[in-house]
Chain A
Amino acid sequence: MWDSPYCHLTGIDMSIILDHVNYIYDKDTAFERHALKDVNLQLQDGEFIGLIGHTGSGKSTLVQLLNGLLKPSAGAVYFDGADISDDDFDLKNLRASVGLVFQYPEHQLFETDVFQDVCFGPKNLGLSKKDAELRAFQALKQVGLKEEYFYQSPFDLSGGEKRRVAIAGVLAMQPKVLVLDEPTAGLDPKGREDILNMIAQLHKELHNTIVLVSHSMEDVADYVERIIVMNKGEVLYDAAPQEVFTHVEELEAVHLAVPEVTYIMRDLARAGIKVRTDVTTVEEAVEEILACYGR
């Protein structure tokens, strides 16, 4: 039906393919909203991806398609070669494989203590109590929560700690693909950095696929190897950070800013200093500037 550029690839070992995906909320009503327009993406195993876009650009909608919470209105989403809209598709397996941490995940905590809450996911996977608890323990360690909090009520923790517990709740399911929808929203700078470092650390250890959704280029530039920029439901760029950040004007036109150092490098270059402008992290910039002066 769709002349897909990826058809020949389906069936090969690879995680997720979005093929001409459209998503429309409240179709055929006065509230109709075309949230995704002709999105084509391919998420490879082990990639660390940043998904960026202005408010309302369709990021949250896109990530919900990745684990089958929403089905595309048109087009198809393939998971390991199988179409998630098929009647006989194994949604349970998909949800075990693609872990989704929602925006403000701390709002979904409900158990009497932190440990029980983290056990909820693995238990739903049908694991024994012992295995579930082992995984919960590992996950809580991974997110760096202090042991003294394990048996407290999750509602007595601070915002950042709650966020960690919620992330652990998904991690404990040991998903192959981990999707985090704005994990740093509403945290202070220190809290943001802690969470982002923790996620980067996870990627290093587990080599799983990670999709990190964010408003802010600055947040993701240091960590990810690929950036997908969304604008009004469409994919605007899909490339390495260095390449994406060369489009300063275009990004500003869609209310996104490139990292501060990229601006500085651009201004330096304009002032006649021969530095590269596709620099995205402070460390790189330091090296580049020093190199320019022959040091």
Chain B
Amino acid sequence: MLREITLGQYYQTDSVLHRLDPRVKIVGTLVFIASLFIANSPLGYGVAAVFLAVMIKLSHVPFQFIIRGMKAIFMLLIITMLFNLLLTPGEEVFHLWRLSVTKEGIRLALMMGIRLVFLVIGSSLMTLTTTPNNLTDGLEKLMGPLKVLHVPVHEIAMMMAIALRFIPILLEETDKIMKAQIARGARFDTGGIIDKARAMVPLLVPLFISAFRRAGDLAMAMEARCYHGGEGRTKMHPLAYEKRDALAYLLLALYLAVMILSRFVPVGGML
């Protein structure tokens, strides 16, 4: 039941995006997110949509699979759009009880909706096409220069890798413990808030104990293999840029340029 959460999951298949250097994908995602905030016209969002569509096509990840991850943010999306729609002052279009829907409200709600959806799809595309290992390797490399400022780059990357690795494990564990307690007659879905909170105890206590046990085991296993931080640590598969990565950076720069230019092109007017 909990396995339906696909946010942050890796999707195993072979595609250009899968083969790209993780650094390119991280930078690309950041550029894409930034571009969503640069865009201010239908033209801008149109370009972003085309870019995203091409990326999805290139990723070979089934569109339905990406959409499934969107379920997690559906409520957030609806609430954001509603607030923007109802609470933005401006030129009134129609009246709803004591709230007025304004032209600016509609515009803002649409814009926020599109931004949020694109943002989530864009970043899921990164995690869907990059293994957690690669992702953290990329991050560590990208943040490398910060070491000069004594930022514990390696430790941050390692923590991220472990956290990512533990998400599915803990989800599975939750599922198991929940079933075991249901078999003992526990109910997680009935009663008021207080009853529900109390019903969580038989789930949370074993879950925390198991998380601590696993953390302890992992620390022990790492120590047994002489892990002592990032100092002097080498990689079996060091990241190395290839031609396609250079090409990808070039395309990214081009995309960013188009997005910036779109601000100044009066096509469709200021929506």
Q: Which residues in B have their C-beta under 8 angstroms from that of A67?
A: 183
Given A30-B12, A64-B179: A124 in contact with B186 (beta carbons within 8 A): yes
Taken residue by residue from 50 to 79, chain A's Cβ proximity to chain B (1 for < 8 Å, 0 otherwise) reads as 000000000000001001010000000000
Interface-located stretch among B129-137, B149-157, B202-210, B255-263? B202-210
Is the pair A108, B12 in contact by a Cβ cutoff of 8 Å?
no
Given A26-B3, A30-B65, A108-B206: A95 in contact with B179 (beta carbons within 8 A): no
CB-based nearest A residue for B3: A26
Shortest C-beta distance, B215 to chain A (Å), equals 15
Is the pair B184, A120 in contact by a Cβ cutoff of 8 Å?
yes
Question: Which of B62, B184, B185, B205 has the most chain A CB within a 10 Å cutoff?
Answer: B184
Q: List 10 A-B contacts (CB under 8 A).
A: A30-B12, A99-B183, A102-B176, A105-B180, A107-B209, A107-B210, A108-B180, A110-B205, A110-B206, A120-B185
CB-based nearest A residue for B187: A124
Given A107-B206, A110-B205: A102 in contact with B65 (beta carbons within 8 A): no
Tell me the bound Cα distance from A95 to B186 in angstroms.
Answer: 10
Q: Which residues in B have their C-beta under 8 angstroms from that of A170?
A: 183-184
Instruction: Tell yes or no: A29 within 8 A of B by CB.
Output: yes
Knowing that A108-B177, A110-B202 are A-B contacts, what are 20 other residue pairs whose CB atoms are under 8 Å apart, sorted by A's residue number? Answer: A26-B3, A29-B65, A30-B11, A30-B12, A30-B62, A30-B65, A92-B185, A102-B179, A107-B180, A107-B206, A108-B180, A108-B206, A110-B206, A120-B184, A120-B185, A120-B202, A121-B185, A124-B187, A170-B183, A173-B184
Instruction: Tell yes or no: A125 within 8 A of B by CB.
Output: yes
Shortest C-beta distance, A110 to chain B (Å), equals 4
Question: Which of B11, B12, B186 has the most chain A CB within a 10 Å cutoff?
Answer: B186
Tell me the bound Cα distance from A176 to B3 in angstroms.
Answer: 32
CB-based nearest A residue for B62: A30
Instruction: Tell yes or no: B201 within 8 A of A by CB.
Output: yes
Instruction: Tell yes or no: B80 within 8 A of A by CB.
Output: no
Q: How many A-B residue pairs have CB under 8 A?
A: 60
Q: Which positions 153-194 of chain B face chain A at CB distance < 8 Å?
A: 176-177, 179-187
Taken residue by residue from 90 to 110, chain A's Cβ proximity to chain B (1 for < 8 Å, 0 otherwise) reads as 001001100110100101111
Taken residue by residue from 189 to 223, chain B's Cβ proximity to chain A (1 for < 8 Å, 0 otherwise) reads as 00000000000011001100110000000000000
Q: Total interface residues on A, using CB and 8 Å?
A: 27
Is the pair A69, B202 in contact by a Cβ cutoff of 8 Å?
no
CB-based nearest A residue for B179: A69
- Chain A residues engaging chain B, CB cutoff 8 angstroms: 26, 29-31, 64, 67, 69, 92, 95-96, 99-100, 102, 105, 107-110, 120-121, 123-125, 155, 169-170, 173
Given A30-B12, A155-B209: A124 in contact with B185 (beta carbons within 8 A): yes
Is the pair B65, A95 in contact by a Cβ cutoff of 8 Å?
no
Is the pair A102, B183 in contact by a Cβ cutoff of 8 Å?
yes
- Chain B residues engaging chain A, CB cutoff 8 angstroms: 3, 11-12, 62, 65, 176-177, 179-187, 201-202, 205-206, 209-210
Given A29-B65, A107-B206, A110-B201: A96 in contact with B180 (beta carbons within 8 A): no
Is the pair B183, A69 in contact by a Cβ cutoff of 8 Å?
yes
Q: Which residues in A have their C-beta under 8 angstroms from that of B182?
A: 69, 95
Shortest C-beta distance, A177 to chain B (Å), equals 12
Q: Which residues in B have their C-beta under 8 angstroms from that of A30?
A: 11-12, 62, 65
CB-based nearest A residue for B177: A108
Q: Which residues in B have their C-beta under 8 angstroms from that of A100?
A: 180, 183
Q: Which residues in A have their C-beta under 8 angstroms from that of B62?
A: 30
Q: Which residues in B have their C-beta under 8 angstroms from that of A105?
A: 180
Tell me the bound Cα distance from A69 to B181 in angstroms.
Answer: 11
Is the pair B185, A107 in contact by a Cβ cutoff of 8 Å?
no
Shortest C-beta distance, B184 to chain A (Å), equals 4
Shortest C-beta distance, A171 to chain B (Å), equals 11
Is the pair B177, A107 in contact by a Cβ cutoff of 8 Å?
yes
Shortest C-beta distance, A123 to chain B (Å), equals 8
Tell me the bound Cα distance from A64 to B209 in angstroms.
Answer: 24
CB-based nearest B residue for A108: B180
Shortest C-beta distance, B66 to chain A (Å), equals 12
Shortest C-beta distance, A67 to chain B (Å), equals 6
Tell me which of A95, A109, A155 contacts B185 (CB under 8 A).
Answer: A95
Is the pair B185, A173 in contact by a Cβ cutoff of 8 Å?
yes
CB-based nearest B residue for A28: B64
Q: Which residues in A have their C-beta under 8 angstroms from that of B201?
A: 110
Tell me the bound Cα distance from A120 to B181 in angstroms.
Answer: 9
Given A107-B177, A110-B202: A121 in contact with B184 (beta carbons within 8 A): yes
Shortest C-beta distance, A99 to chain B (Å), equals 7
Question: Considering the complex of A and B, which 6 residue pairs feature the smallest CB-CB distances, nearest first?
Answer: A124-B185, A110-B205, A108-B180, A121-B184, A100-B183, A102-B180
Is the pair A109, B206 in contact by a Cβ cutoff of 8 Å?
yes
Shortest C-beta distance, B87 to chain A (Å), equals 39
Is the pair B3, A96 in contact by a Cβ cutoff of 8 Å?
no
Is the pair B184, A169 in contact by a Cβ cutoff of 8 Å?
yes
